[in-house]
Homo-oligomer: A and B are copies of this chain.
Amino acid sequence: MDKINLEEFRNIDMNPFDGALKLISGKWKMNLLFCLSEFDTMRYGEIKKTLGSITPHVLSVKLKELEANELIERHEYPQVPPKVEYTLTDKGRTLIPILRSICDWGKEYCVDFQDKQE
């Protein structure tokens, strides 16, 4: 009787949210962005070293995706051995506050993660 029309009970536009996620979600992507937000310029090898367990393949795939989405830039120096530097673009830099706040949140709520492994 007092049944409401469930077809339109309430709605939300997830598009901008999904759109953002499409660019920044996926393993390693946010880590890469965070790295570059902390250290303006990094070479391929430095990133790899900093992330530790990422494989070269995955790293280059992710770097390419981020570059395709214009969040990072690739600067190649014509020398041997090769030297390639990565930086955030202006668009990428607008993510810095978000990345920082995620890190801060982690500091507050995920500190004891390591030690809790029994």
Contact = CB atoms under 8 A, between A and B. Distances in A.
A12 B101 contact: no
Interface residues of A, number: 48
A102 B17 contact: yes
A21 B102 contact: yes
Contacts of A95: 105
Contacts of A111: 16, 19
A65 B18 CA distance: 20
A106 B39 contact: no
A101 B109 contact: no
B10 A31 contact: no
Contact of A31 (B18, B34, B105): B18
Given A21-B30, A25-B30, A16 B46 contact: no
Given A16-B111, A17-B99, A98-B105, 7 more contacts: A18-B31, A18-B106, A19-B106, A19-B110, A22-B110, A24-B102, A95-B105
Interface of A: 6, 9-12, 14-25, 27, 30-31, 34-35, 38-39, 45-46, 49-51, 91, 94-95, 97-99, 101-111, 113-114
